[in-house]
Amino acid sequence: MIVVLSKGISTHDKDMIRIYLKDRGFSARDQILGDDAVIGASGKGVADIRELGLLPGVERVAATSRPYELASRESRVEDTIVTVGTPGQQVKIGGSRITVIAGPCAVESKNQIAETAALVRESGAVMLRGGAYKPRTSPYAFQGLGMEGLEYMKAAGEANGMPIVTEVVSPELAVQMKDLTDMFQIGARNMQNFELLKKVGSLGKPVLLKRGPSATIEEWLMAAEYLLASGTKDVVLCERGIRTFETYTRNTLDISAIPVVKALSHLPVIVDPSHAVGIRAKVAPAALAAIAAGANGLTVEVHPRPDEALSDGPQSLYPEQFERLMRDIEALAPVVGKELLRTPRPHLSVESAAVISTGHSTGQSDKIAFSGESGAYAEQALMRAFGEEAPRLSVPSFTAVFNAVLDGSAAAGVIPVENSLAGSIHENYDLFLRYPDIAMVGELKLRIVHCLIADERANIDNISIVRSHPQGFAQCQEFLDKHPGWQLEPYNNTAAAVASIAREGAVKVAAIASEAAAQAFGLKVLRAGIETNPLNYTRFVIISRRGDGKGELTAAPVPPSLGSEKPNKASLVFSVNDEPGSLFACLKILSERGINLSKLESRPIHGQPWRYLFYVDVHLPAEGPIPQNANPRFDVSFEGAIEELKTKTEDFYFLGNYRAAV
471: left (phi over 0), alpha (psi -120 to 50) or beta: alpha
Q: Each residue of 505-529: pLDDT tens digit?
A: 999 999 999 999 999 999 999 999 9
355-383: average pLDDT: 73
Buried b (16+ CB within 10 A) or exposed e, 208-247: bbbbbbebebeebbbbbbbbbbbbbbbbbbbbbbbeeeee
pLDDT of residue 393: 94
- When the pLDDT of each residue in the chain is averaged and rounded to a whole number, the result is 87
Whether pLDDT at 158 is above 60: yes
Phi and psi angles of residue 60, each rounded to the nearest 5 degrees, phi first: -165, 165
Q: Mean pLDDT lowest for which of 85-99, 174-188, 233-247?
A: 85-99
Three-state secondary-structure class, residue 524: strand
pLDDT of residue 485: 95
Q: Are 394 and 373 in contact (CB under 8 A)?
A: yes
Most confident by average pLDDT, 45-54, 280-289, 607-616: 280-289
Whether pLDDT at 34 is above 90: no
Of all helices (H) and strands (E), which one includes residue 571? strand 569-574
224-237: average pLDDT: 94
**Going by C-beta distance under 8 Å and a sequence separation of 6 or more, which residues neighbour residue 62?**
1, 2, 4, 74, 75, 76
For residues 270 and 100, what is the distance between their CA atoms, to the nearest angstrom?
Answer: 9
Which one is predicted more confidently, 560 or 8? Answer: 8
Whether pLDDT at 118 is above 80: yes
Phi and psi angles of residue 107, each rounded to the nearest 5 degrees, phi first: -80, 120
Q: Please say whether the dihedral angle defined by the alpha carbons of residues 441, 447, 450 and 451, taken in this order, is positive or negative.
A: negative
Other beta carbons within 10 Å of 136: 14
Which one is predicted more confidently, 555 or 53? Answer: 53
540 catalytic residue (yes or no): yes
At 80, which amino acid appears? T
pLDDT of residue 364: 58
**Catalytic residue of the set 538, 574, 614, 649:** 538
In DSSP notation, 350-390 reads: HHHHHHHHHSS-TTS---EEEESSTT-HHHHHHHHHH-TT-
Helices (H), 359-465: 377-386, 398-406, 426-434
Whether pLDDT at 630 is above 70: no
pLDDT of residue 612: 84
Q: Each residue of 337-356: pLDDT tens digit?
A: 888 888 776 643 333 333 33
pLDDT of residue 641: 86
Whether pLDDT at 237 is above 50: yes
**Catalytic residue of the set 540, 574, 638, 654:** 540
pLDDT of residue 317: 97
Whether pLDDT at 553 is above 50: no
Whether pLDDT at 624 is above 50: no
pLDDT of residue 634: 45
Radius of gyration of the chain, Cα coordinates, nearest whole angstrom: 27
pLDDT of residue 423: 84
Which residues are bridge partners to 42 per DSSP? 27
Q: Are 402 and 438 in contact (CB under 8 A)?
A: yes
Q: Mean pLDDT lowest for which of 293-307, 354-368, 584-598, 628-642?
A: 354-368
For residues 101 and 240, what is the distance between their CA atoms, to the nearest angstrom?
Answer: 14
In DSSP notation, 97-116 reads: EEEEEEE-SB---HHHHHHH
For residues 279 and 269, what is the distance between their CA atoms, to the nearest angstrom?
Answer: 22
Q: Please say whether the dihedral angle defined by the alpha carbons of residues 473, 479, 481 and 485, taken in this order, is positive or negative.
A: negative
pLDDT of residue 258: 97
pTM for this predicted structure: 0.70
pLDDT of residue 622: 65
Whether pLDDT at 559 is above 80: no
pLDDT of residue 345: 63
Whether pLDDT at 552 is above 60: no
Q: Each residue of 401-444: pLDDT tens digit?
A: 999 999 889 999 999 999 887 788 888 988 988 888 899 998 88
Q: Are 353 and 88 in contact (CB under 8 A)?
A: yes
pLDDT of residue 139: 83
Which residues are bridge partners to 28 per DSSP? 41
Q: Each residue of 56-65: pLDDT tens digit?
A: 999 888 777 7
At 405, which amino acid appears? V
Q: 619: pLDDT confidence band, cut at 50, 70 and 90?
A: confident
pLDDT of residue 152: 96
Which residues are bridge partners to 572 per DSSP? 616, 654
Give percent above pLDDT 90 in the chain. Answer: 58
